[in-house]
Amino acid sequence: AHRVHIALAELALPFEEEIIDYSKPRTPEYLEINSSGRVPAMIYNGHIIIESAIIAQFLADSVASTHLIPRTGEAQGALVRERIAFFVETYFSKAKIYYYRAIEARTDEDAEDLGKRYFDAVVTDVEPLLRDARPFFNGSNKLTVAEVLTASFIMRIFMLPFTEDAPLPKSMIVGLAENAPNFYVWAQATMKHPSVNSIYNRDVCAAEMRDRREKARALA
């Protein structure tokens, strides 16, 4: 629920949280909330909302005004929303697709190749969209929904290659500072933001991704 936590922190919204142990079967009570058993899920005034990106976007839209995203109803704000949506879609469809593929690759060599594909996608498709980041998307000096929706994966991809028995290859990021400077500077600013890094636990995430890798390779 990293993305949801970023949104909640930026919006300063009060909330109650119940931690779900993802290593155990879901309780009947949780399955009544979300029959798929996936997390996160949010109950808001009796309404159940699921999937972290949808929850984060809902939270940003639920307040009267926020620096995260412009309100609807006027053309300039609509254009910014369109740019954010296009950036997020591009990052996930062109680059982030290699995240789990690299983790679940059959061999280290395959993972290395997939890491290079991520690198190339960032350079070709994502880098041009960040030419006006100052330091955040679209020249903002505060986080936007663009960072809220992508930051959790940015942190993983920059940090996991440097953990013990790394579940991600360094080929994903080595050389980005030179070949995708807009992306690199933006990513560094995003990862340093307290709303982004306050909840992230690198070692726990690394252990989970190593376990995911081993399970995938056992089935290969």
pTM of the shown model: 0.94
Q: Is residue 22 in a domain?
A: yes
> 110 and 149: one domain?
yes
Task: State the Cα–Cα distance between residues 213 and 108, nearest whole angstrom.
Answer: 10
Q: What percent of the chain has pLDDT over 70?
A: 100
pLDDT (0 to 100) of residue 138:
97
> 120 and 49: one domain?
no
Domain count within the chain = 2
Give the torsion sign (CA, 123, 210, 188, 178). negative
> 52 and 122: one domain?
no
Domain that holds residue 177: 75-219
- CA 60 from centroid of its chain's CA atoms: 16
Residue 178: CB atoms within 10 A of its CB come to 9
- Residue 38: phi and psi, rounded to 5, are -75, 155
User: Of 20, 38, 62, which residue sits at a domain end?
Assistant: 62
Instruction: Please report, for the domain that includes residue 20, its CATH number.
Output: 3.40.30.10
- Say which residues have a Cβ less than 8 Å from residue 161's Cβ, sequence separation at least 6: 115, 168, 169, 170, 172, 173
Q: Which residue has the tokens 């909840």?
A: 199
Task: State the Cα–Cα distance between residues 200 and 195, nearest whole angstrom.
Answer: 10
> 54 and 137: one domain?
no
Q: Which residue has the tokens 């909640």?
A: 8
Considering the chain, what is the average pLDDT of its residues?
96
Q: Report whether pLDDT(84) > 90.
A: yes
Rounded to a whole number of angstroms, the CA Rg of the chain reads 18
pLDDT in tens, 39-76: 999 999 999 999 999 999 999 999 999 999 998 888 99
